[in-house]
């Protein structure tokens, strides 16, 4: 997962979530990435350090007083934290995400499965979703 700060030609800054940098470039070239403030599709990645956005449970950045021998959490641990703090919707994820976005369901963090078509439809409709890697993708032997 590639999370980065983006900037449009008018200088508006916003975060973007993409499966990879290459995926961002492909979507940008197709005009699928636009500024949520002004709608411009002239968007570039701002220079910054990519990170996973974990909301309130996000680990704080290392400081000079932080122990140097404490390793950062693994991707498996980060995904587990995200799932532990959200409600599993299974295959009903896309429907529930849309209901939350439209105010027909209670606002809360959820996770589940969505097809590629469902995921793109949510994104196109301005619904903030983040694809998580499958369990098989978290296995370091693959």
Query: Bigger pLDDT: 58 or 136?
Result: 136
Give the predicted TM-score (pTM) of the model: 0.50
pLDDT band at 49 (very low <50, low <70, confident <90, very high): very low
| Strands laid side by side in the 13-18 sheet | 13-18, 2-8, 43-45
CA 120 from chain centre, in angstroms, equals 13
pLDDT band at 47 (very low <50, low <70, confident <90, very high): low
CA contacts within 13 A on the Cβ side of 138 = 12
Closest by CA position to 48, among listed 3, 96, 100: 3
> So what's the pLDDT on residue 88?
92
- For tokens 């200088």, the residue is 11
């Amino acid at each position: 997962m590639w999370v980065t700060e983006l900037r449009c030609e008018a200088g508006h800054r916003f975060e973007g979530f993409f499966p990879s940098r290459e995926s961002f470039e492909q979507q940008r070239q197709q005009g699928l990435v636009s500024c949520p403030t002004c709608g411009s599709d002239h968007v570039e990645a701002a220079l910054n350090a990519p990170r996973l956005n974990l909301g309130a449970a996000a680990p704080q950045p290392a400081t000079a007083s932080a122990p140097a021998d404490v390793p950062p959490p693994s991707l498996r641990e980060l995904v587990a934290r995200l799932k532990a703090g959200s409600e599993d919707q299974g295959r009903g994820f896309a429907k529930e995400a849309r209901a939350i976005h439209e105010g027909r369901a209670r606002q809360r963090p959820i996770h589940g499965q969505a097809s590629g078509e469902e995921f793109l439809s949510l994104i196109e409709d301005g619904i903030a979703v983040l694809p998580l890697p499958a369990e098989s993708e978290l296995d370091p032997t693959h």
